Amino acid sequence: MAEPKEATTPVRLLVDYWAEEDVRTPAGEVIDVPMSVAMDLLSEGKAQRADKFGK
């Protein structure tokens, strides 16, 4: 059986981010990332919450 996909959440990037190799997402963009990645980006100060509860 396939592994269930991890839930995603939107974050606003505070720095440029490479979600995939050679694909840069500029700072200021809002992207959906898996929750574990979002937690890492938030704790490192590289993103801020962009969901409806993060305001």
Q: What are the boundaries of each domain within the chain? A: 8-49
Task: State whether residue 7 is helix, strand or coil.
Answer: coil
Using CA atoms, how far apart are residues 15 and 7, in angstroms rounded to an integer? 23
By CB atoms closer than 10 A (0-12, 13-18, 19+), residue 11 is: buried
Average pLDDT over residues 1-28: 90
CB atoms under 10 Å from CB of 43, counted, come to 9
* Radius of gyration of the CA atoms of the chain, in A: 12
Question: Does residue 55 have a pLDDT over 70?
Answer: no
Residue 1 DSSP label: -
pTM: 0.83
Mean per-residue pLDDT for 26-48? 96
pLDDT-derived band at 5, boundaries 50, 70, 90: confident
